[in-house]
Amino acid sequence: MRDTTKSEPNCDVLVVGGGVIGLTTAVVLAERGRRVRLWTRDPVARTTSAVAGALWWPYRIEPMESARAWALRSLDVYEHLAERPEVTGVRMVEGVMGGTLPEEIGTWTAGRLADARLATAEEYPRGPGMWARLPLIDMSTHLPWLRERLVAAGGLIEEREVKDFGETEAPVVVNCAGLGARELAPDASVRPVRGQLVVVENPGIRTWMVAETVGSESAYFFPQPGRLILGGTAEEDAWSLEPDPAVAEGIVQRCAALRPEIGEARVLEHRVGLRPARHEVRLECERLPGERLLVHNYGHGGAGVTVAWGCAEEAAHLTTAGQG
Ligand SMILES: Cc1cc2nc3c(=O)[nH]c(=O)nc-3n(C[C@H](O)[C@H](O)[C@H](O)COP(=O)(O)OP(=O)(O)OC[C@H]3O[C@@H](n4cnc5c(N)ncnc54)[C@H](O)[C@@H]3O)c2cc1C
């Protein structure tokens, strides 16, 4: 990390937020030749983005039509990044999306998931499901890789909290503060949707599975290098970052009902994250005093990884369109 000065006058754009949205946005801007600084309150490992599973799929995000377009643009990028999985943390992995039919997604993916098909009864005994090859992102590799890519493009990253946009000086500020936008914007419509996960030793599972959700509880598992991520929950307006042992036990049981060997797997870690939910993603411009521009890019709910590149490109476009 290059930590130089205390202020940010020598930059074109200040990005606030160092989760997947802020880092991806900063990478896009820096690679378009802008001098970028990124300020993050938390180290990358303590962001919501570090908790994510993370499967490419538009889940708990609005407006769905825009989210699908951002997701498809991100799919292009992730497919490319999956050519170097050890470096980028992105792999294309097969699995089953329970309750989804291939023809349902055909309309919005416009044939981009060419190999999607109906899952067989053996692959998904609980009813109809879609078998598809989707990006699965190991955030413990992907986030550090994004940081390195930003620094390689000339970006500066500093651990620093912004209390008020008035304390910034850059001509353009991009707000990628996730749930932090609640106080910073301020915007009370950004609310937490708490998600808990259990990380176990992988008992030899190579494909992912997402079963249908019942209320706030779902059952899914994602194989990541050296481990299996089990999920999950989605509790609205719950703020606790403490893992709840009873919730963890429920997650393991629901996943073991899908694949019995999971019930015997050794637990490695418990994770909790707060999804930055909003009635719709906020991707728009605002004026700051002194002819400065503020671009908001937050509120990506349960799909920030899925839409990161599409939103980053739109935010980058707004930083120039809004200056005109
Ligand atoms: C359990 C769980 C599973 C998930 N699974 C998936 C999945 O499979 N696929 C998927 O696409 N998505 C998934 N998500 C959702 C995804 O994690 C989020 O949508 C995404 O991480 C949001 O990214 P972000 O960068 O906006 O927020 P964050 O990662 O929270 O980053 C916000 C950043 O802003 C900084 N910040 C906040 N306030 C300030 C301030 N005042 N000053 C300076 N910096 C500030 C923080 O320090 C942080 O760096 C999951 C989430 C959870 C909790």
Q: What is the pLDDT of residues 152-175, one digit of tens each?
A: 999 999 999 999 999 999 999 999
Q: 14 with 166: CB under 8 angstroms?
A: no
Could you tell me the distance, in angstroms and rounded to a whole number, from the CA of residue 264 to the centre of ligand 1?
Answer: 31
pLDDT for the residue numbered 7: 57
pLDDT for the residue numbered 5: 41
Which of 108-112, 117-121, 239-243 is least confident? 108-112
pLDDT of 324 above 70:
no
For the question of whether the overall pTM of this predicted structure is more than 0.85, the answer is yes
Could you tell me the distance, in angstroms and rounded to a whole number, from the CA of residue 134 to the centre of ligand 1?
Answer: 21
Number of neighbouring beta carbons within 10 Å of residue 198: 25
Find the residues whose C-beta lies inside 6 A of ligand 1: 16-22, 39-42, 47-49, 51-55, 161-162, 176-180, 184, 195, 197, 232, 273, 275-276, 298, 300-306
Could you tell me the distance, in angstroms and rounded to a whole number, from the CA of residue 32 to the centre of ligand 1?
Answer: 24
Taking residues 182-198, what's their average pLDDT?
98
In angstroms, rounded to a whole number, what is the distance separating the alpha carbons of residues 181 and 174? 11
Phi, psi for 12 (deg, rounded to 5) = -85, -35
pLDDT for the residue numbered 106: 78
Number of the ligand 1 atom closest to the C-alpha atom of 193: 53
pLDDT of 2 above 70:
no
pLDDT for the residue numbered 9: 60
Could you tell me the distance, in angstroms and rounded to a whole number, from the CA of residue 45 to the centre of ligand 1?
Answer: 11
Could you tell me the distance, in angstroms and rounded to a whole number, from the CA of residue 226 to the centre of ligand 1?
Answer: 23
% of the chain at pLDDT higher than 90: 89
pLDDT for the residue numbered 111: 85
Which of 181-185, 210-214, 285-289 is least confident? 210-214
Number of the ligand 1 atom closest to the C-alpha atom of 305: 11
Could you tell me the distance, in angstroms and rounded to a whole number, from the CA of residue 48 to the centre of ligand 1?
Answer: 4
Taking every pair of C-alpha atoms in the chain, what is the biggest distance, in angstroms? Answer: 63
Confidence band of 103 (pLDDT split at 50, 70, 90): confident
Look up residue 13 and give its two tokens: 């754009």
Q: What is the mean pLDDT of the chain?
A: 94
Higher pLDDT, 220 or 214: 220
pLDDT for the residue numbered 322: 64
Confidence band of 321 (pLDDT split at 50, 70, 90): confident
For the stretch 66-92, pLDDT in tens is 999 999 999 999 999 999 999 999 999
Residue identifier of the C-alpha nearest atom 31 of ligand 1 = 19
pLDDT for the residue numbered 1: 42
Mutate-to-test residue for ligand 1 from 38, 49, 184, 190, highest number of ligand atoms within 8 A of CB: 49
Could you tell me the distance, in angstroms and rounded to a whole number, from the CA of residue 255 to the centre of ligand 1?
Answer: 25
Q: 185 with 296: CB under 8 angstroms?
A: yes
Q: Which amino acid is at 211?
A: A
For the stretch 236-274, pLDDT in tens is 999 999 999 999 999 999 999 999 999 999 999 999 999
In angstroms, rounded to a whole number, what is the distance separating the alpha carbons of residues 270 and 254? 16
pLDDT for the residue numbered 4: 41
Mutate-to-test residue for ligand 1 from 1, 28, 37, 42, highest number of ligand atoms within 8 A of CB: 42
